[in-house]
Amino acid sequence: MSEELVPSPELSRLAAALDVLDEHAELNHRYRRLITDSRSALSAPLLRTTQARGIGKKLLVLVKAAGPGFPDTLAAADRTALEDGLAQADELVFHT
């Protein structure tokens, strides 16, 4: 039984949210490694659904690590990108 594949471009909201975190969040090297690993996986043309879910989970962890007030520190466009990425992560992790 083969696993379903997801084209990387369909995960652009996750990628954009990772970019916002990388650019604006104060994260230690372990959390930065999660961003690096996620970007590496997203560079492939196709990802397994489990990989996409894993990136979604990493995004949830990273936002929590950035702190409860982190979204409030962002410009409107960055906040929107983060919220869109979190919505996609929620879809992947909890609704598929």
Question: What's this model's pTM, rounded to 2 decimal places?
Answer: 0.93
Neighbours of 20 (CB within 10 A): 25
Mean pLDDT of 44-60: 97
Q: How far apart are CA 89 and CA 11, in angstroms?
A: 9
As a whole number, the mean pLDDT across the chain is 95
Has residue 28 got a pLDDT over 80? yes
Strand partners, 5: 48
Q: How far apart are CA 74 and CA 60, in angstroms?
A: 17
